[in-house]
Amino acid sequence: MRKRQIIIDCDPGLDDAVALLAAFAASDMLDLVGITTVAGNVRAELTQRNARIIRELAGRGREIPVCAGAPAPLLRDAVTAEAFHGSTGLGNIAFPRPRVRASRAHAVNFLIRTLRAGKGFPLTLVMTGPMTNLALALSMAPDITEGLEEIVVMGGADSEGGNITPYAEFNVFADPHAAAAVFRCGVAMRVLNLDVTHQIRTSDDQIARVRALGSKQAVAAADLLAASNRLEESAKGREAPLHDPSTILCLLRPDLFEGRQATVRVVTEEGERFGQTVPDYREDGHVLWYNQADADAVFSEMLGQIARYGE
């Protein structure tokens, strides 16, 4: 069976880092051809550094390029989330400095070149941060949609409300104009939004099961998940949702998630609803808006993937 070729566009970020570890582990099913980074959870120079840290932690090197991308949103002022992810973006965990440099290619150019080359065998783009890079690529080269099989996004919210404002989820709020462009592009999308990710929370006991796997990658994943829990509990008094890893887990086990077809509008007008996603549920919609997940089975899938580092 042909592996699914994927690009991960991300802003690591504690949960982005766990998503990357899961993707690297699933190399029998996922062919990760590149990582593009964007400003979001922390500044752009840190997101590309963090992606390189996780790449080397997973035992991978130059064969999977890390390409730094947009340092700021399209139109709005930049927002970041150091209060949640720590000043480094990785919870101030002491990881070794990455040895392998980032690619010289800009993330937007990498996306254009790779997606154009993928027209015969379209790729999946997994997006776990603001959507600035893809919006820029679509503006420069609209034909790249032919090289996209689907886009899998962590972002947005409907019934759950927002996590950065009462209405907006962080990744969309950080660049709503980019998100609006991506949702309009017509490519099939799956959206892991707060309606579903808030159902998937990782308890301290579950984190202990990850740590007990014993590999350096499992211990790092446990440290990242524990940092997320500490920060979520201090801010909101509850366990942290498994936001970004859900994108990888739904590629591996789509049967664990349920949703409804929709089209999605993003509020780009200034005001209290700025950055809100508004799904219009309709059978002919190109967006699968997830709203249910088997949380225990999703965690078990993640645990199984992280366990592969010890094999």
> Catalytic: 85?
no
Selecting among 106, 198, 243, 286, the annotated active-site residue is: 243
Query: DSSP string of the chain?
Result: -PPEEEEEEE---HHHHHHHHHHHHTTTTEEEEEEEE-SSSS-HHHHHHHHHHHHHHTT--TTS-EEE--SS-SSSPP---HHHH-TTSSTT--PPPP-SPPPSS-HHHHHHHHHHHTSSS-EEEEE-S-SHHHHHHHHH-GGGGGGEEEEEEE---STT--SSSSS--HHHHH-HHHHHHHHHS---EEEE-HHHHTT-B--HHHHHHHHTT-SHHHHHHHHHHHHHHHHHHHHHSSPPB-TTHHHHHHHH-GGGEEEEEEEEEE--SSSTTTT-EEEEE-TT-SEEEEEEE-HHHHHHHHHHHHHGGG-
Instruction: List active site positions.
Output: 243
